[in-house]
Chain A
Amino acid sequence: QSVLTQSPSVSGAPGQRVTISCTGSSSNIGAGYDVHWYQQLPGTAPKLLIYGNTNRPSGVPDRFSGSKSGTSASLAITGLQAEDEADYYCQSYDNSLSGHVVFGGGTKLTVL
């Protein structure tokens, strides 16, 4: 059971916009800690996609954007492309016994 909750799957057609949500609690996202997002292509290591809620590392297309409000955060992908099909994970910091670093359970994005 992950500390951060994500929907198991989401899908969209090429060119469409999809959002992936991440819900936490008062000991992590709601406490003001930043949310970060990772993309994991099949058989590869996760790759940092969004850090500090809204920031994109160099090289990440601006089709990817992040937001945060209250105890939740969202990752939006616009202009969906076939190569976006991957697992997406949110991550934050938790100040309870859950541990310092916590992840969501991951969302599988399928491009139809």
Chain B
Amino acid sequence: KAGVTQTPRYLIKTRGQQVTLSCSPISGHRSVSWYQQTPGQGLQFLFEYFSETQRNKGNFPGRFSGRQFSNSRSEMNVSTLELGDSALYLCASSLLGTGTYEQYFGPGTRLTVT
């Protein structure tokens, strides 16, 4: 079974631009979560989608948004990019939204904002 895939793997953007990152979960998985990883703040939860509905959102400004499609694929969008948005963005999927179902992580998208 294919793992979680994220595209693109690397991205360079300029301040003020917007960016869309994509995550394809493992086949059959309905829950997709997004995390931001930076050297200063560590790993922080962005949001989680389950069956096309956002179930939880982390403490990030409204510039960060996401959505999930009927096939469980998810996208996250960051508008009006700031230098501080440079980070590794990780996506994780799990079979269902509750219980001890393991979250499988993708390889991440490295975003650099210049």
Answer yes or no: do A and B interact: no
